[in-house]
Amino acid sequence: MRIVVTGAAGFIASNLIPRLLDAGHEVVGIDDFFLGKRAYVEALLQRSATRASGPGFRFEEHDLLDRDFVRTLFEGFRPERVWHLAANSDISYGTKYTDFDLKGGTLVTYAVLEAMRLCGTREIVFSSSGAIYGEPTVHPTPEDYGPLFPISLYAASKLACEGLIAAYAHNYGMQARMYRFGNIVGPNPTHGVIHDFVLRLNEDPTRLRILGDGSQAKPYVHVDDCLDGMELGIARGTGPLTCFNLAVADQTSVHEIADGVMRAMGIDPAKVAVEFTGGSRGWKGDVPFVNLDSSRIRALGWSPKYTSGQAVKQATTEAIAVLLKK
């Protein structure tokens, strides 16, 4: 199958693309390296070049806001499916630069959907977020929870993207699988709490600044489990439009993550001066407690290998390996 992956230099795509190549798909990846990393793409190109079946991966460095570029690429490649993973993943950045998620989320998604419509691409896989629930009053939160009042511009953009995808699916005969993630962790991080703690402690192992009061607790899903779930939703989901929560049942606190990162880096937590920025949120727009009901994807057979605690532990090892070359 001919597949386009947006955000191809990002965390999830760099874990996805080897799977797609192994399954024999032909993949074009797009990224502008705003958040994505060149090293991840180079590894993919190298892997693709050494395939027995010939190179199946092509990479385009470009801004997805350029609608003409996206359309022309789609016209040439004629993709049958798009994994639309490109997005800002820094929520607090989007609160400061208020057009950031609007452009990098909503308008980019519009550009992708337009290219699909004009070139006859029928299938889209979209990385949404549990953040669209805002601060829900129901836990665990099911997919049909309402109202959807996001508290960050990041989440507002994800909601806008879901709405666009739903309308395109209805009006132009597309099929969409949308996934509302908890926090995803694993190899090749580009951002996030584990990534940040590893880099900060590597720079100065005597102190660590923690955003909020450290009690924020989220379900961390290992990217392998995440991709298993996404592929299941594609293979077994029905109907033109479905969304799935993708999260494990337990949560890990920022406190626990900090402790685990220190230990994994061989640092005695007792010797680290931990400083808290304070307040229950990591940043304005942060949802401090997340618990998503994932029974819909579990009913299709999803059975994550890692609990949240195990995923964090595994991802900490993987992040240290990638970021510190250890």
The nearest distance, CB 53 to a copy of itself, in angstroms, is: 38
Residue list 233-252, contact with a copy of itself (CB under 8 A): 241, 243
User: Residue 188, interface with a copy of itself (CB under 8 A)?
Assistant: no
13 belongs to the binding site for a copy of itself (CB under 8 A): no
- Position 110 contacts a copy of itself (CB under 8 A): yes
**Count of alpha carbons within 13 Å of 294, Cβ hemisphere only?**
28
Judged by CB under 8 A, does residue 257 bind a copy of itself?
no
Q: Does 228 bind a copy of itself (CB under 8 A)?
A: no
Distance of CA 272 to CAs 261, 268, 319, Å? 12, 7, 20
**Phi and psi (nearest 5°) for 188?**
60, 45
Residue 326 amino acid letter:
K
Give how many residues touch a copy of itself by CB under 8 A: 39
We find the least distance from the C-beta atom of residue 137 to a copy of itself, in angstroms, to be: 9
64 part of the interface to a copy of itself, by CB under 8 A: no
Q: How far is the CB of 162 from a copy of itself (least distance, A)?
A: 8
Query: Least distance in Å: CB of 281 to a copy of itself?
Result: 11
Range 67-96, binding a copy of itself (CB under 8 A): 95
**208 backbone dihedrals φ, ψ, rounded to 5°:** -145, 125
- Among positions 160, 185, 221, 258, the unique one binding a copy of itself when judged by CB under 8 A: 160
Stretch that binds a copy of itself, among 20-28, 33-41, 70-78, 155-163 (CB under 8 A): 155-163
How far apart, in whole angstroms, are the C-alpha atoms of residue 79 and residue 96? 36
> Whose Cβ is closer to a copy of itself: residue 170's or residue 305's?
170
Tell me how far apart the alpha carbons of residues 33 and 41 are, in angstroms, rounded to a whole number: 10
148 touches a copy of itself by CB under 8 A = yes
Rounded to the nearest whole angstrom, what is the least distance from the CB of residue 293 to a copy of itself in the complex? 12
Question: Using CB under 8 A as the criterion, what x/- string covers residues 282-311 for binding a copy of itself?
Answer: --xx--------------------------
Distance CA 297, CA 271 (A): 43
Mutual angle of helices 108-119 and 67-77, in 10-degree steps = 40
User: Rule CB under 8 A: is residue 167 a binding residue for a copy of itself?
Assistant: yes
Strands (E), the chain: 2-6, 26-31, 57-61, 81-84, 123-129, 175-181, 183-185, 207-210, 217-218, 220-222, 241-246, 252-253, 273-276
**What would you measure as the largest C-alpha separation in the chain, in angstroms?**
60
Point out the residues that are catalytic.
Answer: 154
Tell which one of 43, 45, 65, 166 touches a copy of itself (CB under 8 A): 166
Q: Are 280 and 215 in contact (CB under 8 A)?
A: yes
Three-state secondary structure along 210-258? Answer: ECCCCCCEECEEEHHHHHHHHHHHHHHCCCCEEEEEECCCCCEEHHHHH
Binding residues vs a copy of itself (CB under 8 A)? 95, 98-99, 102, 106-107, 110, 114, 117, 132, 134, 143-153, 155-157, 159-160, 162-164, 166-168, 170-171, 241, 243, 284-285
